[in-house]
Amino acid sequence: MLRAEVMPTSYTFASLIKACASLSALGFGEAVHCHIWRNGFDSHVFVQTALIDFYSNFGKIGKSRRVFDEMPDRDVYAWTTMVFAYVRTGHLSSARGLFEEMPRRNVATWNTMIDGYARMGNFDSAELLFNQMSIRDIISWTTMITCYSQHQKFREALAIFNKMTSNESHPDEVTMATVISACGLLI
């Protein structure tokens, strides 16, 4: 593409970064990052968000944070990606700090934090955030059900499921598989 003198776009760079992450090609991804700077895409939210995710895939949370901090503008997806980067690398206190700083949160951001706490076995924090949510989606409900189920709190898992169905949320296949598993383990 470069040899043919075709100029890359922000979508080109974001796609390249995602491919590098999928292929575990850290060195190549860092080279692409240099091209991003050289071609003036260092202020594109879409590209920078892909870089945050890329570096966190390799445990390079410092580089993820540097990209995030250097962004002139951030949307809710950039914030959520950085929160997820902290969760992915086991830095829950940093994730929570950033979560609290966010000017606006979406359901995905809440779900990311709840899932992080659930994976660490911190039911109280997961449940506290879950209860603070004004809007929940199927992922929110399933994450809490899974949290309880994976830590042998089957009655709590079923109680959340009952609450979900009473709130007119409809379970999907993942939710049902988790609930059936919890029921089977109650015996």
CB 105, CB 98: distance < 8 Å = no
CB 67, CB 52: distance < 8 Å = yes
Same domain, 42 and 112: no
Phi, psi of 135 (to 5 degrees): -130, 130
Query: In sequence order, what are the residues at sequence separation of 6 or more whose Cβ sits closer than 8 angstroms to the Cβ of residue 160?
Result: 141, 144, 145, 148
Same domain, 40 and 51: yes
Question: Is the pLDDT assigned to residue 187 strictly greater than 70?
Answer: no
Question: Is the pLDDT assigned to residue 155 strictly greater than 70?
Answer: yes
Give residue 13's domain range.
1-105
User: Can you tell me which residue has the tokens 């692409």?
Assistant: 32
Question: Is the pLDDT assigned to residue 169 strictly greater than 90?
Answer: no
Same domain, 49 and 116: no
Q: What is the pLDDT of residue 185?
A: 77
- Average pLDDT (137-142) is 95
Tokens for 19? 């491919």
Q: What is the pLDDT of residue 39?
A: 87
Tokens for 133? 């949510």
Listed in sequence order, the DSSP H helices in the chain are 10-22, 26-38, 45-57, 61-70, 76-88, 92-101, 107-119, 123-132, 138-150, 154-166, 173-186
Residue 68's Cβ-side half-sphere holds a number of Cα atoms within 13 Å equal to 25
Same domain, 156 and 127: yes
pLDDT by residue (tens digit) across 2-54? 677 777 788 889 999 999 999 999 999 999 999 898 888 888 899 999 999 99
CB 82, CB 51: distance < 8 Å = no
Burial category of 119 from C-beta neighbours within 10 Å (exposed 0-12, middle 13-18, buried 19 and up): middle
The model's confidence at residue 142, banded by pLDDT at 50, 70 and 90, is: very high
Query: In sequence order, what are the residues at sequence separation of 6 or more whose Cβ sits closer than 8 angstroms to the Cβ of residue 100?
Result: none
Same domain, 134 and 119: yes
User: Can you tell me which residue has the tokens 């250097």?
Assistant: 70
CATH of the domain at 142: 1.25.40
Q: Which of 82-91, 103-112, 142-151 has the lowest mean pLDDT?
A: 142-151
Q: How far apart, in whole angstroms, are the C-alpha atoms of residue 84 and residue 70?
A: 18
Same domain, 113 and 71: no
Tokens for 125? 């924090």
Last residue of a domain, one of 55, 81, 105: 105
pLDDT by residue (tens digit) across 73-84? 999 999 999 999
Find the length of the chain: 187
Phi, psi of 69 (to 5 degrees): -65, -30
Same domain, 112 and 186: yes
Last residue of a domain, one of 105, 133, 161: 105
What is the tally of structural domains in the chain?
2
Q: What is the pLDDT of residue 150?
A: 85
pLDDT by residue (tens digit) across 91-130? 999 999 999 999 999 999 999 999 999 988 888 999 999 9
Q: Which of 41-45, 86-90, 162-166, 171-175 has the lowest mean pLDDT?
A: 41-45
